[in-house]
Amino acid sequence: MKEGVTRRDWLALSGLALGAMAGRPAEARPVEDTRAVPAGPAEPVSVAKVRSYDEDLTARFRQMFDQIGGIGNQVKGKTVGIKLNLTGGAPFPGYTVGDTHWVHPRVVGAVVAAFGALGAKRIRILEGAESRKRGYKLEDKLLSGGWDLAAIRNAALLVEFEDTDRLGEGKQYSLLKVQSKPYVFPAFLMNHSYEDCDFFVSLGKMKNHEEMGITICIKNLFGITPLGVYSDREQVFHYGYVQAPAGAPAELDPKSNRYEGWRLPRILVDILGARPVDLAIADGIVATDGGEGPWVLGSKPIHPGILVVGRNCVNTDTVAAATMGYNPRAGRHEPPYRVFKNPKDHPPDQCHPVDETFQYADNMMLLAEAAGLGSADLTKIDVRGVPIKEAMVDYEAFWKNQMPKEHS
């Protein structure tokens, strides 16, 4: 697929009706500093249609693992770390947080059971609890979301939970250097579990995102930067108002662009380069459209009925984005990277230049491709299971149809 293909062209090629596409921008602009390096690997990606969380998800994951070539040799006798996505707290009316903006506990339990059946020695559930309360653990956050922790613990031989915003069971934070050519940061301090695990999984949710357009498995990695080190991730990473604290790796260029739509996608790619993902899993059975959670104006629950699994995080996000109805090679002036912002809530400034209604973000998949971390080109990715055109749900059209008329 050519980088300049428009969303209208992309949807036509994908077999989707174009009626809702009128009036959308026609130009797909590439990111500014894509690099002349060989594109990264193009591994198989599996797509499955799953109607509800009540299905036998363990069997489904075993099938999908087989479709991408099997992972048994990488998992047997090893420590598996699974980074969850647990953004926000309050649910949409009539839904649990796991339905829409957290990964669902039954997906987590099924993945744990699948890894246990493959012979994993230890499985660590990893995420930041995002709390400054003394004694508050990741388990407490999961219980607040209604999770059955006993069921997850019993799904494999040894299951541990670690709040990676803190030291946890470690004595010091691990220094993980960016293995690809870095954009903004050369390295990060992280909880020991991200270094100790033999096999690392990013288990993300297929959602829109208020600033970045979409959040799947690459964006899920933002939470592995610990609050115990960076304190205010928005100030340090989104905007660069505050530099990383003493003892943590400093930015390569403190005078670089402070605009979050330029800055954060590059930092996300740096994080992926520092802690490469061995398996990416995207939960799109039920998700959130128009934003990453109910606190975002216009966000709504959506029911795509999709799971996407792949060995390479960039490849997996590329396929997942396509099943969401987006051109994976879209530029910053195309959906989903042209993001609605309310000017009253986000007045123009150095970090939020808003042209009345929209702000823009660069495509993190293209940036990752340019760093050699994986191909974002669907023509190079072997999609197995359900074809993309049969799995596709048009997030953008659904969002437009649900938005209040004054914002549509």
Mean pLDDT for the stretch of residues 8-18? 54
Mean pLDDT for the stretch of residues 252-281? 96
Question: Residues 6 or more apart from 306 whose CB is under 8 A from it?
Answer: 47, 48, 49, 50, 206, 282, 284, 285, 320, 323, 391, 393
In contact, 47 and 316? CB cutoff 8 Å: no
Percent of the chain with pLDDT over 90: 76
The average confidence (pLDDT) of the chain is 88
For residue 2, pLDDT beyond 90: no
Tell me the pLDDT band of 8, cut-offs 50, 70 and 90: low
pLDDT in tens, 240-253: 999 999 999 999 99
Give the relative orientation of helices 57-67 and 105-117 as an angle to the nearest 10 degrees.
Answer: 60
Give the per-residue pLDDT at 71.
97
Residue at token pair 């998800």 = 57
pLDDT in tens, 94-105: 999 999 999 999
pLDDT in tens, 53-71: 999 999 999 999 999 999 9
Highest mean pLDDT among 19-23, 45-49, 337-341, 404-408: 45-49
Q: Where are the domains of the chain?
A: 7-13+40-400
Tell me the pLDDT band of 257, cut-offs 50, 70 and 90: very high
Position 200, amino acid? F
Q: Find, among 340, 342, 396, the residue nearest to 212 by Cα.
A: 340
Burial class from Cβ neighbours inside 10 Å (0-12, 13-18, 19+) for residue 131 reads middle
Tell me the pLDDT band of 1, cut-offs 50, 70 and 90: very low
Higher model confidence: residue 403 or residue 197? 197
pLDDT in tens, 115-168: 999 999 999 999 999 877 777 899 999 999 999 999 999 999 999 999 999 998
Burial track 314-342 (b if 16+ CB lie within 10 A, e otherwise): bbbbbbbbbbbbbbbbbbbebbbbbbbbe
CA distance 142 to 149: 8
For residue 39, pLDDT beyond 70: no
Tell me the pLDDT band of 27, cut-offs 50, 70 and 90: very low
For residue 84, pLDDT beyond 70: yes
Highest mean pLDDT among 126-130, 183-187, 334-338, 354-358: 183-187
